[in-house]
Chains A and B, each alone.
Chain A
Amino acid sequence: ETGVTQTPRHLVMGMTNKKSLKCEQHLGHNAMYWYKQSAKKPLELMFVYNFKEQTENNSVPSRFSPECPNSSHLFLHLHTLQPEDSALYLCASSSAPGQGWAAFFGQGTRLTVV
């Protein structure tokens, strides 16, 4: 248990569906992230939130829409996805720079788009 919880663990959705991934941390961290892990590719950063403000969008298509209502919660809203969006989506949080920027990851949501 890393202190970062993601739900659901598995999700199958059609290309016309709308769904949301949820991430929650109670580690007192200020920064939260979404990463995408596809087969045979390195983890790719998608979004970064720092103190609830989005500070990074790594050229992610608009069919992925993040939301960070507070420092403890992060959502990834999904709509009209493509089969190539099937992947493991990982949420992470990190401490402030002065505390070493250690990153803690959730267990991930395995997304399958059919």
Chain B
Amino acid sequence: KQEVTQIPAALSVPEGENLVLNCSFTDSAIYNLQWFRQDPGKGLTSLLLIQSSQREQTSGRLNASLDKSSGRSTLYIAASQPGDSATYLCALTNMNYGGSQGNLIFGKGTKLSVKP
């Protein structure tokens, strides 16, 4: 059974710092991996999607990497800002899942706080 783990559960950094959020998974047979952002009480906003054949994706100050062989993904945030404060969720789509397409398996998230 696929398990997704995100470490740390919470992170507090001063504004301007570069930071890395970690995501690990137990089964490397995945279709893709997505990073989401969730603000308190709100839905999920998709940040980056990495296909299984890709190594990384970039969007603005965000860079996500994927290493299937080691079962790891990282989300790098450059020059963090107070507006980046949110919970960041990692989710992946299993290749060996016998159910329907697109079923996402989520980690518990990392709650990020960027202090001014």
Measuring CB to CB, which residues of chain A are less than 8 angstroms from any residue of chain B? Answer: 2, 4, 6, 31, 33, 40-43, 45, 48, 50, 55-56, 88, 90, 92, 94-97, 100-108, 110
In the assembled complex, the Cα of A94 lies from the Cα of B105 at a distance in Å of: 14
Given contacts A43-B89, A48-B103, A102-B49, contact A108 B43 (CB under 8 A): yes
Interface presence of B31 (CB below 8 A): yes
A96 lies within 8 A of B43 (CB):
no
Measuring CB to CB, which residues of chain B are less than 8 angstroms from any residue of chain A? Answer: 4, 31-32, 34, 36, 41-46, 49, 51, 89, 91, 93, 99-109
Tell me which of B32, B41, B107 contacts A101 (CB under 8 A): B32
Kindly report which residue of chain A lies nearest to residue B51, judged by CB atoms.
A100
On chain B, the residues within 8 Å of A6 by CB distance are 43
On chain B, the residues within 8 Å of A101 by CB distance are 31-32, 93, 101-102
A42 lies within 8 A of B45 (CB):
no
